[in-house]
Structure 1
Amino acid sequence: MNLTFLIRLSAAALVLLTACADPETNTGTEPAVADNAPAIINYQLINSYPHDASAFTQGLVWYNNQLVEGTGQYGESNVRYVDLATGKVSKEVKNHEEIFGEGITILNGKIYQLTWQNKKAFVYDAVTFKQLQEFPINTGTKEGWGITHNGTELIVSDGSSNLYFLNPATFQEIKRIGVADAMGPRGNLNELEYINGYVYANIWQTDDIVKIDPNSGQIVGRLNFADLKSKAGITSNPMDAKAPDVLNGIAYDSAGQRLFITGKYWPKLFEIKLQ
């Protein structure tokens, strides 16, 4: 067995191992690994507001000068209008007990709500909360995590390193991209928000929000919000299922250029400005 043959054999084995390593993260367009580490994005804390500490926040949207929030947990999931100043719920639609709600977004007067493992999503009128449609989640892992839109397409995450672009009328997949930074594919993409041409995503179980180029899939920026936990008075308590949980919730007010951040069971919601 000569040296040339050994080199070729090793290269083939490496390709095979790479292809088989993670079928979920490789189901989309192979992510282009970024040339450089993501830029650190700084922010200024502008204000804090009360937030319903019983809300397992899964999605957050700023719409018509109000917050719209989607919450999770079986028997507790809903979509609600929330007053920013008081944190009080002004209107809500509750899901059935077997539904675990996930991310939400609003496009063309319609609220789109994902579910986690129920393999379906719902569409509501954004004013009346009347359910208009129900559609299956067929992409990737067939789990719903985060959702946003770019004005014409829905953009969905499923816990993998992929983002899926869907037709909002037919819910058919248009394309998918793999998301990566300089270290490779980045999974656990959770709650999403489309801001000025980029997708911002919570990374589940971390204090990070990443900024993603939706054309290349490269992570070009990173924000860390570990200090917000202390400002919200949050301490870890693994024995309490209702204890404040991870960072999750991004809403952008494009008119006021304000960004709102919160988390699951957090008692506060924060207004920040990117720098």
Structure 2
Amino acid sequence: MKKLLFVSILAIGFYACDFGGKTDKPADKIPAEEVDLTPKNISYAIVSTFPRDGGNFTQGLEYAGDGKMLESAGQHGESDIRYTDITTGKVLEKTELDKAYFGEGCTQLNGKIYQLTYQEELCFVYDAKTLKLVNKFPYTFGEGWGITNNGKDLIISNGSSNLFFVNPETFQEVKRVGVTNQYGPVANINELEMIKGFIYANVWQTDKIIKIDPDNGHVIGIIDLSDLRAKTGIPPLSMFDEKAPEVLNGIAYDSAQNRIFITGKYWPKLFEVKFDN
């Protein structure tokens, strides 16, 4: 999504609510209005910190294996798809997009890399080994924001409260799931990552990550990372510096070593973190 000149962290209702109380009724006998859908607050801990290119307007982040990170950079004239070294932050290889395109989320599936574009309604497909463009698909669900996969389908966000499950070969929509919490639909679903069967998502304009049940779209957990900047020396949001670090954006999972990585737009650091869930 477009560059922010000023960001105000929103007080979104689903971040604080406790209905309290318990019931001894069997779960299948509890009236719908009595079911507590309040997401669980999930704590986090920083495991390691790594340097990275602070000039990358991070739109997509995914672990690529062998100590490499797959990243998608945004902004017209600055967009690319790249591999970086996790330890050093060095860019190992990249393919630049034409300046007419604004890169968004990315994911790797079956030897191919899929990269969305913001408002151009086009998905670029690359060979995962070479980062060479091999195909492109138009789409009709509006803007492209975040993308991940479940091993079969691509899962895409467009800034609304919907997640679109898409066939990776035809780019036809298979199904869509609405993301909801105890108050109703949750919009601004951004960068996505599938972790142990659940979808983790950045929520645009916040430094929070939500945990989503992909079967029904319910938000079952929230990780509040709003104190991460103070803990790690990431500069605060700025309305004057266009290259200043913006909101948290970027979640990656190394399933082989059970590691989670996060970063943000124009953030000069990559963090390995642990979620207590």
Q: What TM-score do the two structures reach when normalised by structure 1?
A: 0.86
Structure 1: 4+ residue segments shifted above 6 A: none
State the match for 2:264 in structure 1. Answer: 263
**Per the alignment, in what secondary structure is the counterpart of residue 227 of structure 2?**
helix
Give the C-alpha shift of residue 51 in structure 1.
1.5
Alignment check: 8 A CA contact 1:232 1:268 kept = no
- Cα pair 2:65 2:254 within 8 Å, conserved: no
Which ranges in structure 2 are unaligned for 5 or more consecutive residues?
1-31
Partner of 1:84: 86
1:173, distance to aligned residue in structure 2 (A): 0.2
Partner of 1:100: 102
Tell me the CA shift for residue 43 of structure 1: 1.8
Task: Report deviation, 1:37.
Answer: 1.2
CA offset at residue 132 of structure 1?
A: 1.0
Aligned pairs for 1:169-248 within 5 A: 169-230=169-230, 231-248=232-249
Tell me how many residue pairs correspond in the alignment. 242
Q: Are the aligned partners of 1:232 and 1:267 in contact in 2 as well (CA < 8 Å)?
A: no
Q: For the residues of structure 1 that align with 2:200 and 2:216, how far apart are their CA atoms?
A: 14
1:70 deviates by 0.3
Q: Is the 8 A contact 1:77 1:99 kept in 2?
A: yes
Gaps of 5+ in 1: 1-31
Q: Percent identity?
A: 53
User: C-alpha offsets along residues 40-89 of structure 1, whole Å, 9 cap, x if unaligned?
Assistant: 11122100000111000000010122101001000000011101111110
Code of the residue aligned with 1:194 in structure 2: it is M
Residue identity in the other structure for 2:112: K
Q: Deviations over 1:209-238 (max 9, x none)?
A: 000001011000000111222214221210
Between the aligned partners of 1:52 and 1:190, the Cα distance in structure 2 is: 21
Q: Are 1:53 and 1:267, in contact at CA under 8 Å, matched by a contact in 2?
A: yes
> For the residues of structure 2 that align with 1:130 and 1:177, how far apart are their CA atoms?
32
Larger Rg over CA atoms:
1
Find the residue that maps to 1:229 and give its secondary structure: helix
Q: Could you state the TM-score of these two structures normalised by the residue count of structure 2?
A: 0.85
3-state SS of paired residue (1:262): strand
In structure 2, what residue type is equivalent to 1:94?
Answer: E
Whole-angstrom distance in 2 between the partners of 1:236 and 1:134: 35
Q: Could you report, residue by residue, the CA deviation over 1:178-236 in whole angstroms, capped at 9, with x for unpaired residues? A: 10001110000000000111110000010110000010110000001112222142212
CA apart distance, 1:267: 1.0
1:144 maps to which residue?
144
Q: 2:120 matched to 1:115? A: no
Give the root-mean-square deviation of aligned CA atoms: 1.3
CA-CA distance at 1:169 after TM superposition: 0.7
The corresponding residue for 1:132 is: 134
Cα offset, 1:239, TM superposition: 1.1
